Chains A and B, each alone.
Chain A
């Protein structure tokens, strides 16, 4: 085979020294073209997805404009669509879920990265990975059959009894509602926080820990005042990732949030979320405008998760590069 020496790099194209024809005969050009087409189709699909969401919601966007986000009447019969209750529900449940998931997740990640011996840490991480693989509809089933009755009978009455003077915990205990949805969401996003935070904590250089310990810091002080701040950006990244998941989560939320478009200060009240309303109404949407309004909600969800995922990735990459050390004290 008449080839001159070529420089090979893992990514870059083979040196152009050979003629196009000879490369074609060897099949390299064809292979390159074919794989390129498949790679390009990924871009095409993504662009098409954005286009469909934009195009599919044109009518609703023009008709309601910004009022779509400000009004709270959702009436398919009179074709009035305001998405405020859904946006409110999505944000409230996501906030509740983060309030629960962040301390728990970061605590567990610290344990896995700093304290547990490598073998234990890897085993637990294996279980965490399995937990992340549990489908959301399963969380939904456990939510309605286990968590909702528990909330209705024990937790919500207890909350009303002890913290009932706050507007957050007033009104009847239905079981379903913002608090329950937030709790189920928290359980769902904890594995993401743990996995990513553990990774970034492990990438903190060992010197950092040793320096702190040698200055007389206790184990916790070295962890909390040195290692965690070092990995702060990455941990925030994991939280954004979890938030993006929580916002877009559909099935489990639909099953436990109560599906009532209300805006209420009380976390015990039933509510609705963007993803849930799409899931419930999309197939039964009566008019064109109804469908389009639902697609616009999908667009909102898409944009929110797009921004959060982008931010998360930036933060995680930045931290991993900053600390390239293999850190296990």
Chain B
């Protein structure tokens, strides 16, 4: 082997090893994050964490029950806003629309998807908080719902398009009208994909903090109804982590662990649903 070739082989082997190291470093970050959260937060998770209100500074104990309920309410609202618009809009795009309208809608959705979450917060503030002069659960849910729309819309459309045309033709050949075809053939055929899309969108907004800062605000107590500011897990983590109290830091770690656990589980479930699907392509 000439020295030149030996050198080239060495470079090849070295660089390829380096790419492996890069991949290893990138993936290990996930486990580092999980490890730290479990290490620091694991001990603070107790029954109280899920059932008690936060306690004033200085007292130990207490939990984040109000934040957990608040997050649940916000996510319920977000789903009510985001999923119908995303789902029905996607049906329009995939089954009804022609070129130009579909292009405009898709473009708008991609635009909305790229908007930084803090700007979504400003928008929700201007649209919901400002006119009613009140920070509220409604405003927070609206902001999160806005973020769910483009994710649901674009991936649902992909999955609807993945349904083979033969199915459409067969249904129509049997005399079914178009909407019947959609409702009884196409959507059921793509439901795994659609469910995955919705779950991923849900997981994505579950951890969003920035849009909640000036819509749902925060709350140390229970938030009755929908028109009051409410606590939420992500905002609680943010405030507690920045506060100068040791006890609050522990709570922030615990809340982080709960939140990340929830998000990762939803992600894994969503992907599991999809991988067992049949007539749905991977997007």
Q: For A1, give the chain B residue with the smallest CB separation.
A: B175
Q: Give the interface SS of chain A, mostly helix, strand, loop or mixed.
A: helix
What's the minimum C-beta distance from B273 to chain A, rounded to whole angstroms? Answer: 14
A131 touches B23 (CB 8 A): no
Within 8 Å of chain B (Cβ to Cβ): is A219?
yes
Q: How large is the interface on B (under 10, 10 to 19, 20 to 34, 35 or more residues)?
A: 35 or more
Within 8 Å of chain A (Cβ to Cβ): is B108?
yes
Q: Could you say which of A26-34, A65-73, A157-165, A264-272 contacts chain B?
A: A26-34
Q: What is the bound-complex CA distance between A295 and B23, given in angstroms?
A: 39
Pick the contact of A111: B19, B126, B149 (CB < 8 A). B19
B263 touches A135 (CB 8 A): yes
What's the minimum C-beta distance from A9 to chain B, rounded to whole angstroms? Answer: 8
B259 touches A135 (CB 8 A): yes
Chain B residues with CB under 8 A of A38: 84-85, 88-89, 92
Chain A residues with CB under 8 A of B237: 137-138, 141
A34 touches B88 (CB 8 A): yes
Report B1-31 residues with CB < 8 Å from chain A CB: 8-9, 11-13, 15-16, 18-23, 25-27, 29-30
Within 8 Å of chain A (Cβ to Cβ): is B74?
no
Q: What is the bound-complex CA distance between A6 and B175, given in angstroms?
A: 10
A49 touches B271 (CB 8 A): no
What's the minimum C-beta distance from B55 to chain A, rounded to whole angstroms? Answer: 20
A12 touches B12 (CB 8 A): no
Whether A133 contacts B203 in the complex (CB less than 8 A), given A28-B179, A49-B123, A298-B122, comes out as yes
B96 touches A131 (CB 8 A): no
Q: What is the bound-complex CA distance between A14 and B125, given in angstroms?
A: 42
Within 8 Å of chain A (Cβ to Cβ): is B238?
yes
Q: Mark A48-84, 1 if CB is under 8 A from B, else 0.
A: 1100110010000000000000000000000000000
Q: For B20, give the chain A residue with the smallest CB separation.
A: A111
A135 touches B207 (CB 8 A): yes
Whether A43 contacts B105 in the complex (CB less than 8 A), given A28-B178, A36-B97, A301-B118, comes out as yes
Q: Could you say which of A166-174, A277-285, A319-327 contacts chain B?
A: A277-285
Chain B residues with CB under 8 A of A21: none
What's the minimum C-beta distance from B178 to chain A, rounded to whole angstroms? Answer: 4
Q: For A124, give the chain B residue with the smallest CB separation.
A: B27
A31 touches B178 (CB 8 A): yes
Within 8 Å of chain B (Cβ to Cβ): is A244?
yes
Chain B residues with CB under 8 A of A154: none
B26 touches A141 (CB 8 A): no
A108 touches B116 (CB 8 A): no
Q: For A249, give the chain B residue with the smallest CB separation.
A: B116
Chain A residues with CB under 8 A of B9: 218
Whether A247 contacts B116 in the complex (CB less than 8 A), given A28-B177, A255-B241, A279-B213, comes out as yes
B112 touches A42 (CB 8 A): yes
Chain A residues with CB under 8 A of B29: 131, 187, 190
Chain B residues with CB under 8 A of A283: 213-214, 217
State the B residues within 8 Å of A (CB): 8-9, 11-13, 15-16, 18-23, 25-27, 29-30, 33, 36-37, 40, 84-85, 88-89, 91-99, 101-102, 104-105, 108-112, 114-123, 125-127, 146, 149-150, 153, 161, 165, 168-169, 172, 175, 177-180, 182, 203-204, 206-210, 213-214, 217, 234, 237-238, 241-242, 249, 252-253, 256, 259-260, 263-264, 267-268, 271
Known interface pairs A1-B177, A27-B180, A301-B116; 4 further A-B residue pairs with C-beta atoms within 8 A, sorted by A's residue number: A42-B109, A46-B111, A103-B22, A135-B260
List 27 contacting pairs A-B, 8 Å CB cutoff, sorted by A: A10-B94, A10-B95, A11-B94, A12-B98, A27-B177, A35-B88, A41-B89, A52-B123, A52-B126, A104-B25, A107-B22, A107-B23, A108-B27, A110-B22, A115-B16, A115-B19, A129-B267, A137-B234, A144-B241, A223-B16, A248-B115, A248-B116, A251-B234, A275-B116, A306-B111, A309-B111, A309-B114
